[in-house]
Chain A
Amino acid sequence: MTPGLIHALGVVPLSWGLVVLSLLFLAILFARMRQLQRERDILLQEKDVIFGFVHDVGEVFVDADHIDLDHLLKRVLFYAQRTTHAGAGAIYLLEPDGESLRARAAAGIFPPLVGEVESGLEHALSKSQHVETLIKTRVVSKGEGLIGAVADFGAPILIEDAEPDPRVPHYDEDFLKIKTLLLVPMRFHQKTIGVMCVVNRVDGKPFILSDLNLLQSLADQASVSVHYAGFRETLDEKKRIDHDLSVARRIQTALLPKEIPRVDSVELAAFNYPALEIGGDYYDFVHVDDTHLGIAIADVSGKGIGGAIMMSVCRSILRAQAPGNLSPAQVLKSLNRVVCQDITEDMFVCMLYMILNTSTRELVVARAGHERPILSSGERGDFTIINSPGIAIGISEIETFESALEEATLQLRPGDVVVAYTDGITEAMNAQNEEWGIENFLDAVRVAAEEGANSVLNNVRQRLTRFVGNRAQYDDMTLLALRVMR
């Protein structure tokens, strides 16, 4: 071999090796570059997400101090979905009892995390609507399921791969399948006020820690506004109730007689104190015929506008039925028959209806669940509680009502006083939460009975006012008194 050949042979493998090496280096370099490019893209994407997030947070609160809670929650949820690329989401808020949670907002088809979906799903007109109704009506207790756990512990839960997780419900329907799941608490002053949850990323990837962090930041920001919006909502509700009550009070006042009728040799007196929370008391005097006066006192169990309307219905029926009808039980039966059809379940009316014969002074009493009237006998100075059986109007079967109702007939003598009242009087409370009670009431009547109906009225009023002091009363107080003059 010539030295030149040896040289050539030595050089060739060396240069080939160099080529391979540099190719390899280039390949690695290229791969590394691609990787860096990818990382840069991801970082840019994340930067977009963060910028988007910061923008979104701004959007959420741009006018948060005067939009209502439902709109605010809808908006928060929209941005929560956008930030985490979630397919669906829901916001649960803690109820005022602090023990249960209710979904106040839902977006996309948010699969129920507690409870069932079976009932009615196949027949539902819109499946998403059906599922939304399901989750909005199902109350979740604190500690129950994933939502309850987040509310209870105040810590977020991230489940990247939800399908094998035993805490996550499994649905056969594709649109309800939960693949990945993220729940964060909404907190205000270290107190959990709700839970925000999102499910299934639209790109099919699992939620990751950075999604959790973003969602938690959004939730933390939103919680302040949500808290105040909830506060405003309570205030608005209170204003609505106040308005409701003032309307009810006006109806009620309009129903009471403007003046007390004048009857020969009978003294009549009445007062009505409407309570803070309107109670639904009513009294009336009706012209039955030239020698008969109808006297009614009633108490509707329902409060507010519902109670006031019921009262006005009863008044109209009574005034239509009373003229010419000398049997108070018959009038109450007719009234019950009509009211039965209109009254809402659970509401009822206690009514006492008495007919006084103004020439013979015979008093016929029918009592439909109302407080029993009192007879203070002038001559002997003793007390009788006039008891006649009967059931409150509008709550029983018609037959039950009619077979239970019986009249009591009394012959009043000069000096006799009859007093009828509603339970607001005997159940009036003082600041020490003590009830005035029937004994105090009877005492007040007894002392003044000899002086006449107006005297009874004034004495009861005085003693009652002294007893309750400044304590606000929650039930109407109504009193009627009649006295046969000597």
Chain B
Amino acid sequence: MRECVITREQKDHLDILHLDGSLDAYSFPKLESALNELRETKRHHVILDCASLDYISSAALGALIGFARRSREQKGDLKLARLSPKIFNIVELLGFHKILDIFSDIDQAIRKFA
């Protein structure tokens, strides 16, 4: 499985993290530390661009919900954008689409933050 490469793009008060690769138990800590860093610098408006994400484990998805919840406590959010059908299926199976905000493109997600 490919490692996950994370590229950060900053747009005003928003941070877009472009994810490229796989997120499993071994590669998730990398995203976790990137998200923690944003939280420490009080940046709570985050969009995860999943267009190039090949795989995400259900445990990693669960952890993302934890991040979304903590962001919401700070009046922010963690939103997901551009999920592949395969990944959306996992999210839907777990019922997480009822908890996380999911968008088919990034602009939509940005507009939702405004």
Contact = CB atoms under 8 A, between A and B. Distances in A.
B93 A372 contact: yes
A231 B98 CA distance: 45
A369 B93 contact: yes
A391 B99 contact: yes
Contacts of A392: 62, 94-96
Interface of A is mostly: loop
B62 to A, nearest CB: 5
Given A346-B63, A395-B62, A369 B98 contact: no
B71 interface: no
Contact of A404 (B59, B93, B95): B95
B6 interface: no
Contact of B95 (A346, A371, A389): A389
A396 interface: yes
A391 B62 contact: no
Interface residues of B, number: 14
B1 interface: yes
A368 interface: yes
A182 interface: no
B110 interface: no
Given A301-B59, A301-B62, A350 B99 contact: no
Contacts of A350: 58, 94
A395 B99 contact: yes
B65 interface: yes
Contact of A433 (B1, B94, B96): B1
A301 B96 contact: no
Interface string B82-102: 000000000001111011000
A346 B96 CA distance: 12
A396 B93 contact: no
A345 B94 CA distance: 16
Interface in A358-412: 368-369, 371-372, 389-392, 395-396, 400, 404
A346 B98 contact: no
23 contacts: A301-B58, A301-B62, A345-B66, A345-B69, A346-B59, A346-B65, A346-B66, A348-B62, A348-B94, A350-B58, A369-B95, A371-B93, A372-B93, A390-B95, A392-B62, A392-B95, A392-B96, A395-B96, A396-B65, A400-B98, A400-B99, A404-B95, A433-B1
Interface of A: 301-302, 345-348, 350, 368-369, 371-372, 389-392, 395-396, 400, 404, 423, 433
Interface of B: 1, 58-59, 62-63, 65-66, 69, 93-96, 98-99
